[in-house]
Amino acid sequence: MKKIFLIGEIGINHNGSIEIAKNLIKNAKIAGFDAVKFQKRDPFITTPDNIKDKPRSTPWGDTTYFEYKKKIEFKKKDFDQIDKYCKKIKIHWFASPWDLRSNQFLKQYKLKYSKVASAMLTNVKLLEEISKQKKYTFISTGMSTENDIKNAIKIFKRNKCKFMLMHCVSSYPAKDNELNLNYIKTMKKKFKSDVGYSGHEISVSPSLMAACLGAQAIERHITLDRTMWGTDQSASLELNGMKLLSELIRKFEECQGNGVKKYNNLEKKMLKKFKYW
pLDDT for the residue numbered 185: 97
CATH of the domain at 70: 3.20.20.70
Tens-digit pLDDT profile for residues 202-220: 999 999 999 999 999 999 9
Contacts of 249 by beta carbon, 8 Å cutoff, 6+ apart:
4, 6, 207, 208, 211, 218
pLDDT for the residue numbered 231: 86
pLDDT, average across residues 163-176: 94
Tens-digit pLDDT profile for residues 104-150: 999 999 999 999 999 999 999 999 999 999 999 999 999 999 999 99
pLDDT for residue 1 is more than 70 = no
pLDDT band at residue 172 under the 50/70/90 scheme = confident
Number of domains in the chain: 1
CA 40, 44, 45, 50 dihedral sign is positive
Pick from 118-122, 149-153, 228-232: least confident: 228-232
pLDDT for the residue numbered 238: 97
pLDDT for the residue numbered 275: 87
Model pTM score: 0.95
The rounded percent of the chain whose pLDDT value lies above 70 is: 100
The rounded percent of the chain whose pLDDT value lies above 90 is: 94
Tens-digit pLDDT profile for residues 57-74: 999 999 999 999 999 999
- Residue range of the domain that includes 103: 5-274
* Pick from 236, 272, 262, 209: nearest CA to 37: 236
